[in-house]
Amino acid sequence: MLQFLRICNLALLDEVSLDFEPGFTAVTGETGAGKSVLLGALSLLAGNRADKTIIRVGADEVLVEASLHVGEDRDIVALLEELELPACEEGALILRRSLHRKRGGKVMINGALATVTALQQLGEIWIDFHGPGEPQKLFHEKNQLSLLDIFARNGKSLEKYQADYDAWRGLWREMDNLRSAEQLSPEEAEFLQGQINAIDQVDPSDESIEQLERDFNRLDNARELSALSEQAGEGAREAARAASHVLRAARDLAEIDSSADALAGRMDALIIEAEDLADEYDALASGGDFDPSEAEAIHQRMQTWLQIRRKYGPTTEAVRAKREDLKRKIGSQTNVEGQLIKLEHRAGELEKALRKQADELRRNRLKGAKDLAAQAKELLTKLGFKKADFAIEVATEDKLSRHGHSNCQFVFSPNAGQPLMPLNKIASSGETARVMLALKAVLAKADSTALLVFDEVDANVGGEIGAAVGRELAALAGDHQVFCVTHLPQVAALARQHFLVEKGQDDDSTTVSIRRIDDDKDLRESELARMLGDRDSSSAREHARQLMSSSVPLHP
């Protein structure tokens, strides 16, 4: 559960620190007061995307941090370990996220730098948002099926099925590609084989091409190479002869002064080195002489290499890659039928397994549909539908799809004597909102998410129905921490905690403030009276007091 929240420079809010308790928390305020600031802060901590326009005007950075008591929640413990993040101390998960106007944002989890993705993964465990747009989702069968699968606990089975289904579809795409691939004529196959042979003759290995380029360079510059080598060799010999004349004097000097022995030795070594240099230059000069057949072979091979390089790529690596591609093209023609037979066999075996998995998904959906509809119908009665009927029809499809071979449709009749029809054919906005709340209430009981956030889920209802909505939200707070942004006093009066969001303005600025008011009887009475129509009305005040005195929270 969320224990502490600090918000700085978010939208019109300067700074606020809030403490929270278990159970049901209501957030109220006039339209446009900025109630979304609190939801925006929670959204940031859940790892949702954020735009820098949320940073308060005049500030450089928005900052949100929170402390959540998660105890020894196995999912969170396992995820922190997987992400290599610090473990929770004394069961507290510490989250911190900042967004800077000019720099990148920063995420901290238990004091360690982390990614927004890590924050998202944690958010999927500890918080769930239910917004005003969600009732519209009920109109789409894919979302209805998703809700049913959540209730039927089909998550892992569906994930396994979808992975196998994707692999199965991949096999069919591979077969289609083989069948539609352009077939090579004998002439085209012979041409491609000729290209492979030409590449092989050149031998495009790195070492071979480097040697070819050295030989070609020597051949191309043979005369100049020979002349320069002879010139260098003759110079080395002249140096050796000159040093030989000096060596006699050096030895005579060493006989007179023994300290000159080392100098005489160096002179001797100089002569030997000069003679060796002369021999090596002679060898280099003679090495540039290629016989005519060898020279022609080098020229021919270099011309072939230049043509191949221009055609297939500037590097030996590119040429080798092209050779493998040509080889695959030829090879693919020789065993297309064999490959198709193997792929068809694999696809058939996988389809059998998929149909068994789809049958299991359908059985779970049928059972889940019956139980979910019964529980939702019971709640709908409490929410003002005295004679309503609700059912979930599960239909079997001929073909396999990514969700199996069954689908579902939510059907509803708000009044006695009316036939069951799809929601988008019969339900008004208020009716749809209550159907969604009933489903969410049932699903939440099977959900381990710690914090449920409802943003005006009670829209388009009021009076006794509003009170019933409030009681259901409060009932959810027995197993979850529940936040609800509401305009209904009947809902707000049932909350254990009540936060008021207010907007203040002067000539130069606009600010938003959030404060707890359930511990101030007069202030809460005033807010409930405002929600009833007029905080200055004595009758509204009296009604507010009645709501406060008669509302017994259904949570600790």
Q: What pLDDT, in 10s, does the model give residues 267-319?
A: 888 888 888 887 787 776 665 555 677 777 887 888 888 888 888 878 888 88
pLDDT band at 417; cut points 50, 70, 90: confident
- Rounded mean pLDDT, 118-135: 82
- Read off the tokens for 523: 């202030």
Q: Within a 10 A sphere around the Cβ of 110, how many other Cβ atoms?
A: 16
Query: 352-371 burial string, b = 16+ CB within 10 Å, else e?
Result: eebeebbeebbebbbebbee
Does 554 have pLDDT greater than 50? no
- Read off the tokens for 215: 């030989």
Contact of 94 with 113, CB cutoff 8 Å: no
Does 262 have pLDDT greater than 50? yes
Cα(166)–Cα(168) distance, integer angstroms: 5
Q: HSE of 237 in the Cβ direction (CA atoms, 13 Å)?
A: 11
β-strand pairing of 24-28 with 481-485: parallel
What's the confidence (pLDDT) of residue 147?
85
What's the confidence (pLDDT) of residue 183?
67
- Per-residue pLDDT tens for 326-338? 887 777 666 677 7
What's the confidence (pLDDT) of residue 50?
87
Largest alpha-carbon pair distance within the chain? 137
Q: Within a 10 A sphere around the Cβ of 533, how many other Cβ atoms?
A: 11
Does 551 have pLDDT greater than 80? no
pLDDT band at 191; cut points 50, 70, 90: confident
What does R_g of the chain's alpha carbons equal in angstroms? 42
What's the confidence (pLDDT) of residue 223?
57
pLDDT band at 182; cut points 50, 70, 90: low
Does 548 have pLDDT greater than 80? yes
Does 553 have pLDDT greater than 60? no
Does 86 have pLDDT greater than 60? yes
The domains of the chain, with CATH numbers, are 1-129+456-466+476-517 (3.40.50.300), 186-334 (no CATH)
Cα(38)–Cα(164) distance, integer angstroms: 42
What's the confidence (pLDDT) of residue 406?
95
Q: How many residues does the chain have?
A: 556
Q: Specify the higher pLDDT residue, 552 or 199.
A: 199
What's the confidence (pLDDT) of residue 556?
45
CB proximity list for 309: less than 8 A, separation 6 or greater: 319
Does 51 have pLDDT greater than 70? yes
